[in-house]
Amino acid sequence: MSDEHKDSSHPVLAIIGKIFIFAIPASLVVMLGLVGVAFLGGSGVEVVEASAKPAPVAAAAESSAIPAAEPVVAAASPAAAGAGPNVSQMQLGKAAYATCAACHGPDGAGLKAGPMLMAPSLHGSELLLGDVDAALLIILKGIAKEGMDYMGMMASLGAGLDDEKMAAVLTYTRNSWGNSAPAITVEEAAAARAKFADVNAPAGVRRAEIQAIVDAHK
Ligand code: HEC
């Protein structure tokens, strides 16, 4: 190894030049990176869906299973739909609730929009916890905006939720945050979709008319 530090064949300018050639693009890359991060951060899109998504329960049971005579299938198959809410329906409902959380809030208490609420609290809501068909009608047709009580407006959500999800999201909301009401079955959701198909309420059903519409379709 020979020491050549005293060699003055490299002028200082060349060194500075090399530093610049490297340093300028490097700083550009860093700046673009920062702008990108700021842009993504500033867009403020919350990942409600990700946090609302339930962890797969069956996967844990499966991974710990020792390959033996006993099959693992039993752990993965959900119990058949009974009267009360079962775990898989509640999980599906919780995931589907991401649609509602934008207005009713992640905790069902109504999302705050300044001093106002986007939508009413679902805690103890009579329309939600009472007649199964009333709750289904609200999802299928939406509720007409008749005042300025809430910032949001609930349009028909029937197209975005199939019968299974509609039953699940209502079962979930009827059995969360202290609410307690019988589960809604896929069959009830399908029947409601069929019988309310003739209800002509493009801007949503009027609150005061919900019960009358339900009674007329019993
Ligand atoms: C875009 C906002 C918005 C979304 C999304 C939304 N809602 Fe609503 N919801 C409202 C508003 C606003 C009202 C009250 C309408 C009014 O009276 O003016 C309401 C009312 C209700 C009511 C009646 C509550 C009561 O007691 O007054 C229920 C039940 C309900 N929504 C359930 C749901 C469910 C379940 C979902 C998701 C599948 C959902 N909503 C999605 C805005 C929304």
Check residue 83 and give its pLDDT: 56
Check residue 205 and give its pLDDT: 98
58 within some domain: no
What domain range is 185 assigned to? Answer: 83-216
Atom 40 in ligand 1: residue holding the nearest Cα: 100
Atom 16 in ligand 1: residue holding the nearest Cα: 145
50 within some domain: no
* 156 Cβ inside 6 Å of ligand 1: no
Q: How far apart are CA 180 and CA 132, in angstroms?
A: 13
CA of 127 to the centre of ligand 1 (A): 10
115 within some domain: yes
Question: Does residue 46 carry a pLDDT above 50?
Answer: no
- Those residues with Cβ within 8 angstroms of residue 124's Cβ, 6 or more apart along the chain or in another chain: 178, 179
Average pLDDT over residues 38-66: 41
164 within some domain: yes
Pocket test for ligand 1, best of 48, 90, 94, 103 (most atoms within 8 A of CB): 103
Percent of the chain residues topping a pLDDT of 90: 61
Q: How far apart are CA 186 and CA 164, in angstroms?
A: 5
Check residue 85 and give its pLDDT: 86
Check residue 169 and give its pLDDT: 98
Neighbours of 138 (CB within 10 A): 21
195 within some domain: yes
User: 103 with 118: CB under 8 angstroms?
Assistant: yes
Give the predicted TM-score (pTM) of the model: 0.69
41 within some domain: no
70 within some domain: no
CATH number at residue 194: 1.10.760.10
Cα atoms in the Cβ-side hemisphere of radius 13 Å centred on 164: 6
124 within some domain: yes
The total number of structural domains in the chain stands at 1
Confidence grade of residue 9 (pLDDT, cut at 50, 70, 90):
low
- pLDDT of 90-99, one tens digit each? 999 999 999 9
- pLDDT of 118-166, one tens digit each? 999 999 999 999 999 999 999 999 999 999 999 999 999 999 999 999 9
Check residue 84 and give its pLDDT: 66
Cα dist from 205 to 12, 25, 167, whole Å: 80, 60, 19
